[in-house]
Amino acid sequence: MVDLSLELSGIKMKNPVMVASGTFGYAKEFADLVDLNKLGAIVTKSITLKPRAGNPPPRLAEVAAGLINSIGLQNDGVDYFIHNHLPYFKTLETPLIVNIAGETVEEYVELARRLDKEVAVKGLEINISCPNVSKGGMEFGVDPKLTAEVIGVVRKATTLPLIAKLTPNVTDIRPIAQSAVEAGANILSMINTVLSSAEVTVNGKRHMLKGGLSGPAIKPIALRMIRQVREVVKVPIIGMGGIMGIEDALEFFEAGAQAIAIGTANFVDPKTAERIIEELEIRGSAP
């Protein structure tokens, strides 16, 4: 069988196909459906310092070729994660990347310090691009100076490989990418969701859902931005945004991504990543 293995700035992966944050829970939920040990890496839903209830419903709307979400960073906090989810990841061969999000720079630092001590954690994805919270999140990732500030302080708090997750909701993504790399990001992941809105009717009541758009609708935006960033930085790029199958995956590699992440497609077919891996193996060559 063809060897698809690679090392992304110290993260050893069997293949370049990962599952994206927020679309794969804490992996265990998918164990009956997916061979978790086949995946290149697993990225968790964003973890915050304290538990968060997330935004009130409605939180999701399916639109043409995509999905709008406004989850609002719902999670049980880092302590709960360490005690209740991390033990399961220790039973897997697949590297675990933890996505972290803070309202302040200090919160990112504290999260990095706590997770740095956990041997099962192989990398941190710094979420500076959540579109659905009033404090923190995307606020950092739309400004090159704030991007540098967050990445810089997290860099000092951990020796783990750092992945900066970039937002597409900017006029020019290149200065943000450069800033993240100069401040110490080893890898860039892109793109997070695109700011959008849709009218949703629930029990006869109309709501205006504002959130982040993902899925095939945003693939051309992701590809354009990866091409732009590839021109100005040398670090590996994890490409994501609407990858549904092997043809999409190949387009991302061609645009300059070293690895890819499957997100929204997991809601359609949780086996998407596994299928793409098998097809890359059949093609007989690493991308």
Tokens at residue 13, please?
Answer: 């992966």
The three-state secondary structure class of 20 is coil
Cis peptide upstream of residue 58 (ω within 30 degrees of 0): yes
Sign of CA dihedral 30, 98, 216, 281: negative
Rounded Cα distance, 185 and 151, in Å: 7
Question: Could you say which residues in the range 223-262 bind ligand RRO, by CB under 6 A?
Answer: none
Active site includes 130? yes
- Residue 280 found at the interface with ligand RRO (CB under 6 A): no
CB within 8 Å of 16: residues ≥ 6 apart: 4, 6, 40, 253, 258, 259, 260, 280, 286, 287
Complex with ligand RRO: residue 71 or 97, whichever CB lies closer: 71
Minimum distance from residue 75 beta carbon to ligand RRO (Å): 8
Q: Tell me: does residue 128 bind ligand RRO (CB under 6 A).
A: no
Answer yes or no whether residue 22 interacts with ligand RRO by CB under 6 A: yes
Q: Which is nearer to ligand RRO, 82 or 133 (CB)?
A: 133
Tell how strand 194-202 and strand 121-127 pair up. unpaired
Please give the size of the binding site for ligand RRO, defined by CB under 6 A. Answer: 16
Residues making up the chain, counted from first to last? 287
The interface region with ligand RRO, picked from 111-119, 125-133, 168-176, 232-240 by CB under 6 A, is 125-133
Q: Kindly state whether residue 147 participates in binding ligand RRO, applying the rule CB under 6 A.
A: no
Tally of helices (H runs) and strands (E runs) in the chain: 10, 14
Catalytic choice (130, 138, 166, 222): 130
- Pick from 15, 23, 127, 158: which binds ligand RRO (CB under 6 A)? 127
Identify the residue among 39, 71, 111, 225 touching ligand RRO (CB under 6 A). Answer: 71
The smaller minimum CB distance to ligand RRO, of residues 163 and 277, is found at 163
Q: Which two tokens stand for residue 184?
A: 């110490």
Active site residues: 130
